[in-house]
Amino acid sequence: MAVSTENSGNVSGGRRERSSHEVSPLRLLVRCFAEKKGGQWQAFSLEFGLAVQGDSKAEVKAKLDSVIESYLRDALVGEDREHAYELLSRKATWPVYVKYYLIKTILLVTTSTSAGTDRLAYREPWPLEPRHC
């Protein structure tokens, strides 16, 4: 992932347009959600189409964080580096996106504290460590 240090020079309405090589802060966030189905918890990542299962909300969140970190490490510096573009461009299916925004809406609109006990929607920064070139 390269961050452009050049000024693109394109200004539109007083705002500088982003170059396609610049990193947007939103591109560094991974949208995730977890929900309880029956006696099991499931967690999903929208950005990479990853999913995990576990016995508790904390367990699936920790598992998904670990899977995302491993996925990114393999794609960026590991054995799958030659396929980084495809791996980092991978997204979840549209039903997963719909469920994420539905859960997020339910959590925003519902005032009951019990609504959040079997659902979770969150954004996490990519687990990356800065390096000097």
DSSP string, 77-105: TSTTGGGHHHHHH----HHHHHHHHHHHH
Hey, what are 107's tokens?
């959590």
Give the whole-angstrom CA distance, residue 63 versus residue 119: 16
User: In Å, how far from its chain's centre is CA 125?
Assistant: 7
Hey, what are 97's tokens?
């996106």
33 — pLDDT class (breaks 50, 70, 90): very high
CB-based contacts of 124-130 (< 8 A; 24+ apart in sequence): 124/29, 124/30, 124/32, 124/65, 124/68, 125/28, 125/29, 125/30, 126/28, 126/29, 126/30, 126/68, 126/72, 127/65, 127/68, 127/69, 127/72, 128/28, 128/72, 128/76
More confident residue, 48 or 10: 48
- Judged against a pLDDT cut of 70, whether residue 6 lies above it is answered with no
Q: What is the pLDDT of residue 117?
A: 77
Segment 47-98, tens digit of pLDDT: 999 999 999 999 999 999 999 999 998 998 899 999 999 998 899 999 999 9
Prediction pTM value? 0.73
126 — pLDDT class (breaks 50, 70, 90): confident
Structural contact between residues 32 and 124, judged by C-beta atoms closer than 8 angstroms: yes
Percent of the chain with pLDDT over 70: 70
Q: What is the pLDDT of residue 46?
A: 95
What number does CATH give the domain 30-122?
Answer: 3.30.160
pLDDT winner (highest mean) among 1-15, 18-32, 82-96: 82-96
| Best CA proximity match to 120, nearest among 76, 61, 51, 66 | 61
Domain boundaries, the chain: 30-122
